[in-house]
Structure 1
Amino acid sequence: MKYCAFLRGVNVKGTNMKMADVCQVFKEAGMLDVNSVLASGNIIFSSEKNAAELKKMLEKAMSDHFSYEAFLFIKSQDETQVFWNSIPFEKNEALHIYAFVGNPGVENVLMSEFEAASKTENEKAEIVEEILYWQVPKGNTLDSSFGKVLGKKSLKDQFTSRNINTFEKILKKMSS
């Protein structure tokens, strides 16, 4: 089965790694057809194992190899397609749209945080297919009240986020 592993915290705040090295770790862990998409920690691969087994195995391999606490979220090709197919917002050049990949139920935790946060004009969030989507004006991602919540240590093992354009690139590579 084809999967994408979405790594959290890669190439931010001093956790720097080359995607070629990450791919090598995946290959050494027995994954097949390993490729990366962008430098933000999106690894496409094939395996006969299930997502839960893969998560445990690959987090350990990454943690051991790079000497950091790895968090990753594994989605099948079909599951990854849902992220692209369910976008609730219109594309707009002035806005970013992010989708959150994470543990079951984390979308509700994030929505509570979003509802409690102060918002800028055109900033909104919506849950579709158990996925939280967040729209924010370009340039405000890290400055927004909700953007600051996303860095909470208590949530670090719960989710990661990607710009929706990243899902398009991942799906193109998964289909080729």
Structure 2
Amino acid sequence: MTTSGMTTPGATRYVALLRGVNVGGVTIKSADLAELFRSLGFANVKTVLASGNVVFDADSDPADAGATAALKARIEQALAERFGYDAWIVLETLERVHQVIDGFPFDAQREGWHPYVLFSSSAGSLTELLEAAPGLDPADESVVAGDGVLYWHCRRAVGIDSPFSKLAARTRFRSTTTNRNLRTLQKLA
């Protein structure tokens, strides 16, 4: 196992983005989360912030959709068993996270605005969410499609009360989507 942040030889560096951790009564300590991932046999495990972000190495081919789905399901099952909640994650390679960061189309440094990326394990969820975007007030928030993500820029003053935030928080999207601030993604990278 390496600890330098470099990928273990022959392994793929992944990022697990957990949905709903340390909010709504689901509390998981970072040390416990890291220990769970290590117990699953993953190497070079690192948690980032206390909002359900885990970077790790796994011997899995990201080009094999079946293997990726099995890896995701294995992690979700282990989280549910260990921490007793309905666990949902979005699983990405670290390389993909770098691409998503590089593709951010808004001014991430704009004063008074939050830069977000919405990830999903279901393209249909992203399509449905994007279809609501033309009705948004661009003075408060904007949403554009990226490659398998939605980029969302929102005025801080509007925040979680924005129409898009309320839409994305609906129950039907909980099992497939999660969002991250661009700065969190940069820390993951």
TM-score using structure 1 length: 0.91
Amino acid at match of 1:47: A
Secondary structure (helix, strand or coil) at the match of 1:4 reads strand
Q: CA offsets, 1:64-87, max 9 Å, x none?
A: 001000000111111111110100
Matched, 1:125 2:157: no
CA shift at 1:152, angstroms?
A: 0.8
Amino acid at match of 2:33: V
**Percent of pairs identical after alignment?**
29
| Distance across 2 between alignment mates of 1:69 and 1:115 | 32
Which residues of 2 match residues 1-176 of structure 1 at below 5 A?
1-49=12-60, 50-91=67-108, 92-105=110-123, 106-116=125-135, 118-119=136-137, 121-171=139-189
Q: CA offsets, 1:15-59, max 9 Å, x none?
A: 111111111111111111111011111100000024222101000
8 Å CA contact 1:95, 1:137 repeated in 2: yes
CA shift at 1:104, angstroms?
A: 3.9
TM-score using structure 2 length: 0.85
CA shift at 1:120, angstroms?
A: 6.1
CA shift at 1:103, angstroms?
A: 1.6
What does residue 174 of structure 1 align with? Answer: none
- Point out the more displaced range, 19-28 or 57-66: 19-28
Greater than 6 Å deviation, 4+ residue runs: none
Gaps of 5+ in 2: 1-11, 61-66
Gaps of 5+ in 1: 172-176
8 Å CA contact 1:5, 1:42 repeated in 2: yes
8 Å CA contact 1:5, 1:72 repeated in 2: yes
CA shift at 1:148, angstroms?
A: 1.0
| Distance across 2 between alignment mates of 1:85 and 1:138 | 22
8 Å CA contact 2:89, 2:176 repeated in 1: no
| Distance across 2 between alignment mates of 1:115 and 1:62 | 37
Considering only aligned residues, what root-mean-square deviation do their CA atoms show, in Å?
Answer: 1.4
8 Å CA contact 1:31, 1:45 repeated in 2: yes
Q: 1:128 to 1:120 in 2, by over 3 A?
A: closer
